């Protein structure tokens, strides 16, 4: 049974060669396997080393992605490139137990998807701090509860899928963030995933790409998956930025009115400050991969953003009073006005202000 091992890499130059070596050892005499390395143009030139490995061993291929970054999309690209009947995904840093690779592949005899689990008998997280253990457990419970997944470790980065099953669900994937397995499990439901325990090891060389932002990203992915993508993570971010703007407006109003300006001028200045802070927050967070960086783009973006928001405010006002005239209660009319104008603002900004192509971060 041919197997493709997918290794997503970003700055793993020191690990990738040893990983391939370790896989050769694990597969022994078997010839029916390959490695697909998907590298996002790592600054440490992991791709170069991977390509060198490929030059002497046709079982090793490297896709150096120049136009995109991101773990989940790298994994999906790797899985699409794999020619094996069974696809296995693992970190390229030795945190996943290479010795368990054959067991994970064999588990696909009985299931479409098999998960390497730290949280079942025989598994473990190794040398994690209490805080990281608590966080990981919390995220696991949250995803099981919200998405009603039965897997003991839906956040695992070590899993295997039958290729035909992957191709069946692939069109429904929306690969972003970190936790592609969670998304696959949602799509595979109600099929029960097979599980193989393993103990998480410390990273061998290099550093983790996991940052504090991953926690927020996790929450957003959960909301997205739970609503079947009706609530996109980007829209939630946009709405959160909108709420932050309200706080900024109140705070600036408080500061300016009491200390410097007349109430009328303070209101205008506070609205302006909130609009500017919303634009900057959306630019660096909501639309981070399309971020404006040059002064010219920033000014143009801010102008478009302000025009769209201005129209949005007008739409908001018109809808609210139209509904009030129809006899709706004011708070309800306001809520509808806010929702509809937010949608207007969001989609126009998505199409016009931040219409650019994704750039590597
Ligand atoms: N291609 C690609 N690989 C990534 C990216 N982020 C992380 N990786 C790789 O994915 C694996 C897991 O990332 P890692 O930093 O070890 O996360 P951690 O295990 O949660 O600390 C490693 O092999 C990384 O090199 C990315 O944006 N693109
Ligand atoms: Mg890792």
Cα of 268 to ligand 2 centre, how many Å? Answer: 49
Amino acid 357: pLDDT: 58
Cα of 93 to ligand 2 centre, how many Å? Answer: 6
Q: Any idea which ligand is nearest the CA of 9?
A: 1
Pocket (CB within 6 angstroms of ligand 1): 8-10, 12, 38-40, 69-71, 74, 91-93, 95, 157, 208-210
203 and 241 share one domain? no
* Residue 246: inside a domain: yes
**Smallest Cα–Cα separation from 106: which of 58, 162, 149?**
162
Confidence of residue 360 (pLDDT cuts 50, 70, 90): very low
349 and 247 share one domain? yes
Among 5, 6, 7, 8, say which to mutate for ligand 1: greatest number of ligand atoms within 8 Å of CB: 8
- Return the exposure string of 170-185: e unless at least 16 CB atoms fall within 10 Å of the residue's CB, then b: eeebbbbbbbbbbbbb
Q: Which of 36-45, 214-223, 293-302 has the lowest mean pLDDT?
A: 214-223
CA angle, corner 301, sides to 295 and 307, nearest 5?
Answer: 140
* Residue 218: inside a domain: no
Q: Which of 301-305, 340-344, 355-359 has the lowest mean pLDDT?
A: 355-359
**Smallest Cα–Cα separation from 79: which of 141, 152, 3?**
3
Ligand 1 atom having least distance to the Cα of 93: 23
Among 5, 7, 10, say which to mutate for ligand 1: greatest number of ligand atoms within 8 Å of CB: 10
* Residue 136: inside a domain: yes
194 and 257 share one domain? no
192 and 264 share one domain? no
* Residue 220: inside a domain: no
349 and 284 share one domain? yes
β-strand pairing of 86-89 with 194-197: unpaired
Q: Per residue in 258-294, pLDDT tens?
A: 777 788 888 889 999 999 999 999 999 999 888 999 9
* Residue 359: inside a domain: no
132 and 243 share one domain? no
Q: Assess whether pLDDT exceeds 80 at residue 132.
A: yes
* Residue 213: inside a domain: no
Confidence of residue 358 (pLDDT cuts 50, 70, 90): low
The domain tally of the chain equals: 2
242 and 157 share one domain? no
Q: Which of 26-40, 78-92, 177-191, 210-224 has the lowest mean pLDDT?
A: 210-224
Q: Any idea which ligand is nearest the CA of 89?
A: 1
57 and 166 share one domain? yes
186 and 237 share one domain? no
Q: Per residue in 73-100, pLDDT tens?
A: 999 999 999 999 999 999 999 999 999 9
* Residue 217: inside a domain: no
Cα of 202 to ligand 2 centre, how many Å? Answer: 8
175 and 259 share one domain? no
**Smallest Cα–Cα separation from 111: which of 189, 173, 40?**
189
Query: Closest Cα to atom 9, ligand 1: which residue?
Result: 9
Q: Per residue in 38-63, pLDDT tens?
A: 999 999 999 999 999 999 999 999 99
60 and 188 share one domain? yes
Among 207, 241, 256, the domain boundary falls at: 207
* Residue 212: inside a domain: no
Ligand 1 atom having least distance to the Cα of 15: 23
Confidence of residue 212 (pLDDT cuts 50, 70, 90): low
Among 172, 207, 242, the domain boundary falls at: 207
pTM: 0.80
Q: CATH no. for residue 70?
A: 3.90.550.10
176 and 267 share one domain? no
Cα of 15 to ligand 1 centre, how many Å? Answer: 12
Domain that holds residue 273: 233-353
């Amino acid at each position: 049974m041919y197997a493709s091992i997918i290794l997503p890499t970003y700055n793993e130059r020191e690990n990738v060669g040893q990983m391939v070596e370790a896989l050769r050892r694990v597969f022994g005499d078997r010839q029916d396997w390959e490695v697909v390395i998907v590298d996002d143009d790592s600054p440490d030139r992991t791709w170069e080393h991977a390509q060198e490995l490929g030059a002497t061993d046709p079982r090793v291929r490297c896709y150096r992605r120049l136009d995109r970054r991101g773990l989940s999309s790298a994994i999906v690209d790797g899985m699409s490139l794999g020619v094996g009947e069974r696809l296995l995904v693992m970190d390229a840093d030795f945190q996943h137990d290479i010795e368990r690779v054959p067991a994970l592949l064999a588990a696909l005899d009985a299931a479409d998807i098999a998960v390497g689990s730290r949280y079942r008998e025989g598994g473990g997280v190794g040398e994690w701090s209490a805080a990281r253990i608590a966080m990981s457990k919390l995220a696991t419970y949250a995803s099981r509860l919200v998405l009603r997944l039965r897997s003991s470790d839906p956040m695992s980065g070590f899993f295997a899928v039958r290729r035909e099953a992957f191709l069946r669900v692939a069109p429904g994937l929306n690969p972003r963030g970190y936790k592609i397995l969670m998304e696959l499990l949602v799509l595979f439901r109600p099929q029960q995933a097979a599980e193989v325990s393993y103990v998480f090891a410390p990273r061998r060389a290099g550093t983790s790409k996991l940052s504090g932002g991953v926690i927020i990203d996790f929450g957003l992915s959960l909301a997205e998956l739970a609503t079947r993508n009706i609530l996109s993570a980007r829209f939630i971010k946009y709405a959160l930025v909108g709420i932050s703007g309200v706080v900024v407006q109140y705070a600036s109003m408080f500061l300016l009115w009491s200390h410097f300006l007349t109430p009328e001028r303070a209101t205008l200045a506070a609205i302006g400050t909130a609009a500017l802070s919303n634009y900057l927050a959306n630019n660096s967070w909501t639309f981070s991969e399309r971020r404006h960086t040059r002064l010219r783009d920033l000014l143009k973006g801010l102008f478009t953003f302000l025009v769209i928001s201005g129209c949005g405010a007008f739409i908001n006002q018109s809808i609210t009073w139209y509904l009030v005239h129809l006899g709706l209660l004011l708070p309800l009319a306001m809520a509808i006005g806010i929702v509809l104008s937010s949608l207007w603002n969001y989609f126009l900004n998505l199409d016009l202000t931040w219409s650019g192509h994704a750039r590597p971060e």
